[in-house]
Amino acid sequence: DRMEVITLDGYTEYEKLQIARRHLVPRQLGAHGLKDDEITFTDDALRKIIQDYTREAGVRSLERRIGAICRKSVVKIVGQQWTHVVVTPELVRTQLKKEVFESEGSENIEIPGIATGLAVTSVGGDILFIEAARMKGKGNLTLTGHLGDVMRESAQIAQSYIRSKAEPLGVNSADFEATDVHLHVPAGAIPKDGPSAGVAMVMAMASLFSGKTVRGDVAMTGEVTLRGRVLPVGGIKMKVLAAHRAGLTTVILPKRNEKDLDDIPQEVRDTLRIVLVERIDEAMGVAFGTEARQEYSISAGE
């Protein structure tokens, strides 16, 4: 109680790019006896190193990778094979070999039961796909994907909400009694927890039972209550940046997280449509592309 806790977020991809451009590259050039007119790193090359060869909150591995490229380039320059090196993404792949990490990207969702959520890890934000499947059974819910207790409760809340709103959603309530649901969050080796996947879980189940597909360019985050309210969550900056990096166009956020939008770089906000919602029915209109028709509208009194 006599100490003040200061939480430091990891650098964003944009911040890492600027740090590399202004500090890491010049320092590594000097350390390897290279001049500015002998080697040039393009922004696309630096982004490839950041995305595919490092997975960290800071920039130490990024600087090591830049140094490795500098050393390989020195060999070529001293051997008079090259006079000026332009480091492109293709050259990065050639010199650093196979990519170490693979980031999730947006997908064209063609079948019901899949929704795109947003998560925060120790090294930044990422997107995750919530997958739901149904089969004949007795109404049981199976959860897989190395989920923590809080995330499991979010899945149970999502199922209960969909069952309680079966009629407004146009779902046959009898289907729940004769159907088992399996909900899976890929990357099963990575532990996942927290309530922020609640909205995506509701969307996946609503899509599964209604037969409607969720838009593949929409990502969402937020905690859901049994009344259908969408509650605020943390890590908004990291999550929105992850959606932008994955090529998504629309992000659904809780209305009460509006204050967190000030932390998001303006260039990211300009390219994304950010929709703030207070209730799950508002999010459904965006996720299913039915905002005008309100096919999935559920009145607040229900």
> What pLDDT is recorded for position 106?
63
> What pLDDT is recorded for position 298?
40
Rounded CA-CA distance 87/102 in Å is 21
pLDDT, tens digit (0-9, with 9 covering 90-100), for 14-72 = 889 999 999 999 999 999 999 888 999 999 999 999 989 998 888 999 999 999 999 99
> What pLDDT is recorded for position 295?
39
> What percentage of the chain carries pLDDT values higher than 90?
59
Residues forming beta bridges with residue 229, ordered by sequence position: 279
> What pLDDT is recorded for position 296?
39
> What pLDDT is recorded for position 79?
84
- Per-chain mean pLDDT for the chain: 88
**3-class state of residue 289 by DSSP:** coil
pLDDT at residue 108 above 80? Answer: no
pLDDT, tens digit (0-9, with 9 covering 90-100), for 257-269 = 999 999 888 888 8
Q: How far is CA 176 from the centre of its chain?
A: 30
Catalytic positions, please?
Answer: 196, 239
> What pLDDT is recorded for position 105?
65
> What pLDDT is recorded for position 200?
95
> What pLDDT is recorded for position 287?
93
Cα angle at 181 between 177 and 186, to 5 degrees?
A: 170
pLDDT, tens digit (0-9, with 9 covering 90-100), for 178-189 = 889 999 998 777
Q: How confident is the model at residue 238 (pLDDT cuts 50, 70, 90)?
A: confident
> What pLDDT is recorded for position 14?
82
Spell out where 14-162 has E strands.
39-41, 85-87, 114-121, 124-136, 141-144
Which helix or strand (DSSP H or E) is residue 291 part of? Answer: none
Q: How confident is the model at residue 103 (pLDDT cuts 50, 70, 90)?
A: low
pLDDT at residue 230 above 60? Answer: yes
Q: How confident is the model at residue 297 (pLDDT cuts 50, 70, 90)?
A: very low
pTM over 0.75: yes
Q: Which of 78-82, 84-88, 128-132 has the lowest average pLDDT? A: 78-82
